[in-house]
Amino acid sequence: MLIGSAHASTQDASQAAIRKTEPVAETVKSVISRTVRKLVAIPDLNHLASQSVLIMDASSGKTLFSRNATLITPIASITKLMTAMVVLDRGLEMQEHLTISEEDMDSLKFTRSRLRPGTTLTREELILLALMSSENRAATALGRTYPGGMSAFVAAMNAKARSLGMVDSNFHDPSGLSPQNVSSAPDLARLVRAAHDYPMIREYSTRDRAQVTVKGRPLNYHNTNSLVRAGDWEIGLQKTGFINEAGRCLVMRARIASQDLVMVLLDSVGRNARITDANLVRHWVEATKAAASRKS
């Protein structure tokens, strides 16, 4: 009898323990379920801070999302992608040393630069700094030293734009400091797709940091795009831009959820708005793919 009573008591205790843990288990499952639903919820891209948006499949050219995409707006340093293409198209010597002059100083926006007049770097180093750290004097020097000078360079920029079918675009200078450098989101998508064909532009626009030597002293630069520096994106090409007239701009070719996309985000307000927008687009793509896979 004593053995039987002990056995029954043990069973009762076990069943009570199970009943006690069941609500906890259900609570955990509920929390996990809500978390999963939250993670896969498809965000509304109409809430993006950027005024003009275009998300495109890089291979097919199919538009996945657009908003105010036909607006023609200043593009700031996105210009530097065109600058690099024009220099590379001409086949100029990459190791030729070029010297920064007072002509390369910004007399429009009065932006600062560590490349003082008299600084000598190779043409390749100037392309690197223009693409990666958006160095304005580097870009201006590339245009000034082009065969025929600055006027010939700007003419070549506009000719290249026409050849790419960029009907909404006009270029006035190689740095993007001029608000007369204008384009639309579809045109910039064409620019990104074309620029991606240049290995040097792909490599240098996505390098997170670099060092150049100026008069025997090392100068360290970093990428203006924090997404490149973060390292958790697959970015094949990118360029940031900002002047007051253009707002914060960002173009990228990135691989998201096994799909190569072109992302154009123009005229956002706030230092981090374009980065927040890019992350929201990434979430949108991933969530849309996840929803589609659950249905299939």
Domain total in the chain: 1
Q: Scanning the structure block, which residue is given the tokens 């890019």? A: 278
Does residue 26 lie in a domain region?
A: no
Q: Are the C-beta atoms of 42 and 292 separated by less than 8 Å?
A: no
Question: Strands (DSSP E) along the chain, which ranges?
Answer: 52-57, 63-67, 73-74, 97-99, 120-122, 182-183, 209-214, 217-222, 234-243, 247-256, 259-268
Does residue 28 lie in a domain region?
A: no
Active site residue 239: no
User: Which pLDDT does position 20 carry in this prediction?
Assistant: 53
Average pLDDT of the residues in 45-51:
94
The two structure tokens encoding residue 112: 């600062």
Q: Could you tell me the pLDDT band of residue 32, with boundaries at 50, 70 and 90?
A: very low
Q: Residue 284 sits in which domain range?
A: 50-295
Active site residue 30: no
Does residue 45 lie in a domain region?
A: no
Active site residue 77: yes
The two structure tokens encoding residue 296: 């299939």
Q: Could you tell me the pLDDT band of residue 50, with boundaries at 50, 70 and 90?
A: very high
**pTM of the predicted protein model:** 0.86
Per-residue pLDDT of 236-266, as tens digits, reads 999 999 999 999 999 999 999 999 999 999 9
Does residue 81 lie in a domain region?
A: yes
Average pLDDT of the residues in 57-79:
97
Which residue is catalytic, options 50, 52, 133, 134? 134
Per-residue pLDDT of 189-245, as tens digits, reads 999 999 999 999 999 999 999 999 998 999 999 999 999 999 899 999 999 999 999
Does residue 193 lie in a domain region?
A: yes
Does residue 15 lie in a domain region?
A: no
Does residue 3 lie in a domain region?
A: no
User: Which pLDDT does position 3 carry in this prediction?
Assistant: 43
Q: Could you tell me the pLDDT band of residue 278, with boundaries at 50, 70 and 90?
A: very high
Which residue is catalytic, options 50, 52, 77, 133? 77
Does residue 27 lie in a domain region?
A: no
Q: What is the CATH number of the domain that holds 129?
A: 3.40.710.10
User: Which pLDDT does position 136 carry in this prediction?
Assistant: 98
Of 173, 291, 188, residue with least CA distance to 243: 173
Question: What would you measure as the largest C-alpha separation in the chain, in angstroms?
Answer: 109
CA distance 284 to 294: 15
User: Which pLDDT does position 37 carry in this prediction?
Assistant: 43
